[in-house]
A and B are shown apart, each in its own frame.
Chain A
């Protein structure tokens, strides 16, 4: 996931905070935030993940005029065989790690550069062969300063995970 321009906006932070059921006013109210140690609204710790909104090619967002693998009349809009079970189009998220060099606020404009990491395999009891893939995204601000380092590990399973 490479993101050329991720503008951090107050209304997006508000919606994100609601989506994780966090009513901490540091994410909603600039007046409240002004009276805190930080002095301004910041984003919740996992907010950088929503850079997906600003990735033009992000594959887990339907694109105008293109087939989508979710359901319409049929269970999936893609005619080909599913490429292995366990997550529809994207596999599953196995790990996520963040390092915060500074906390981001409305007005920041970030870029995210993606560096591929390691790939490894493992035999899983509940889902057959597992293929893990790591990726590292470095988020920099409008001054080129590194603000967040994000490392994610995704996993593709041979079949859906047994329940």
Chain B
């Protein structure tokens, strides 16, 4: 269901838990579907011994994809006109992520949202914006 402009107010928020205890297998699924097989996401030996990180970590685009799920659940299917993010911290196996959309403006049949995803320690891992058509 799409949102109705008359029901929206600046400052309204919508939150979803994106994932609890992110698994390496979920990251493997994202690698396989997206075609990004960078071993830093799936290959523990390479990532520790050659790349110098403590473990594999998620694709930024996995976090963006899961955050997009929160947004489309809020604004409805096929309603997005813009969606952009910055990846501000890495996401690791075992992380639990929550994402929030905050209404910034409703005008001309469009809603502008601020988007933020945080981990279990309250660290922001993704920050961005989305714009969607509303009824």
Instruction: Give residues in A with beta carbon < 8 Å to B.
Output: 12, 15-16, 18-22, 24, 26, 36-38, 42, 44-46, 49-53, 55, 58, 60-62, 68-71, 75-76, 82, 85-90, 92-100, 103, 151, 159-161, 163
In-complex Cβ contact of A12 among B33, B78, B83, B90 (8 A): B33
User: Which partner residue on chain B sits nearest A53 by CB separation?
Assistant: B35
A51 to B61 alpha-carbon distance, docked (Å): 13
B72 & A45 in contact (Cβ 8 Å cutoff): yes
Report B-chain residues with C-beta under 8 Å of the C-beta of A50.
33-35
Closest 6 CB pairs of A and B: A97-B84, A70-B39, A20-B65, A75-B49, A52-B35, A53-B35
Among the 9-residue stretches B5-13, B50-58, B100-108, the one with 4 or more Cβ atoms under 8 Å from chain A is B50-58
Contact A93 B60 (CB under 8 A): yes
Whether B81 contacts A160 by the Cβ 8 Å rule is no
> Is B32 an interface position by the 8 A CB rule?
yes
Can you give 21 contacting A-B residue pairs, CB < 8 Å? A19-B30, A19-B65, A21-B19, A37-B78, A42-B77, A53-B34, A58-B35, A82-B51, A85-B51, A85-B52, A88-B39, A88-B50, A92-B60, A94-B87, A96-B61, A96-B85, A97-B85, A100-B82, A151-B84, A161-B53, A163-B54
A residues near B46, Cβ cutoff 8 Å: 69-71, 75-76, 88
Contact A60 B81 (CB under 8 A): no
Task: Tell me the bound Cα distance from A89 to B71 in angstroms.
Answer: 31
Whether the Cβ atoms of B78 and A42 lie closer than 8 Å is yes
B residues touching A (Cβ–Cβ < 8 Å)?
2, 18-19, 26, 29-30, 32-40, 43, 45-54, 59-62, 64-66, 68-69, 71-73, 76-78, 80-87, 90
The interface residues of chain A lying within 8 Å CB-to-CB of B78 are 26, 37-38, 42, 103
Q: Are A19 and B34 in contact (CB under 8 A)?
A: yes
Measured in the bound complex, the distance between the Cα atoms of B46 and A16 in whole Å is 25
Given A71-B45, A88-B40, A160-B52, the answer on whether A20 and B69 have CB atoms closer than 8 Å is: yes
